Amino acid sequence: MKNRHGRIFLGICFSVFMVIGLGWLSTGSAMDQDKVIQLPRPVHTGKMSLEETILRRESVRDFTSKPLTLQEFSQLLWAAQGITRKWGGRAAPSAGALYPLEVYLVTAEGFFHYLPARHHMIPLSDRNLLKDLCHAALGQSCTREAPAVIVLTAVHERTSGKYGPRAERYIAMEAGHAAQNILLQATALGLGALPVGAFYDDRVQKALGLPGDHQPLYLIPVGHPR
């Protein structure tokens, strides 16, 4: 009888261990949101002058499959929204310094959220979402074939709290500033990029699992021009 109780007790212990252990394992294999990717410091000098960069910038829609380096991602994300001032000012101007833009990165390796304050990325998914993004962007192949797509989104309430209905205009302007910085930075690095505005907001939101208040404004495929 004692043995039987012992076996039952061991059985319960084993089951509890399996449930907790497997749960832990499955959490570990899913995207670990605490696992930040620290980006290398962005460089502040380049080989191409601003004038030459403006002259060379053009929309690139055909890319090779060569992946971008972490240093290139660092530079592009810094150009979009990196911190450039001691008080927290960023690379692109913002009405009332309210910074409504949120920047995401989609690559074959996963989906990442850029956080300017620490210049790092938080992995949100390890799935390749480029194909889903392409469907949301009316099948534009550049959004699937580029090695990376930078997604600019905005949280309207950050700006509308102060500026009311005028916020919509300000936010669109800010997305333009950030996008142009990315396009010029890509050009200066010898990369190609393209601003894509034709997509279904709700489908992009769904494809990426974006929070409901993060409205997608721009998709920017970037890579090595073919």
Ligand X SMILES: Cc1cc2nc3c(=O)[nH]c(=O)nc-3n(C[C@H](O)[C@H](O)[C@H](O)COP(=O)(O)O)c2cc1C
Q: Does 196 bind ligand X (CB under 6 A)?
A: yes
Q: Which is nearer to ligand X, 109 or 145 (CB)?
A: 145
Question: CA 47, CA 4: separation in Å to the nearest integer?
Answer: 77
In angstroms, how far is CA 171 from the centroid of its own chain? Answer: 18
Q: Which is nearer to ligand X, 162 or 226 (CB)?
A: 226
- Minimum distance from residue 218 beta carbon to ligand X (Å): 7
In the window 118-177, what residues touch ligand X (CB under 6 A)? Answer: 140
- Minimum distance from residue 113 beta carbon to ligand X (Å): 23
Residue nearest to ligand X (CB): 197
- Minimum distance from residue 86 beta carbon to ligand X (Å): 33
- Minimum distance from residue 106 beta carbon to ligand X (Å): 16
Q: Which is nearer to ligand X, 61 or 127 (CB)?
A: 61
Q: Does 58 bind ligand X (CB under 6 A)?
A: yes
Which residues contribute to the site for ligand X (CB under 6 A)?
58-59, 61, 140, 194-198
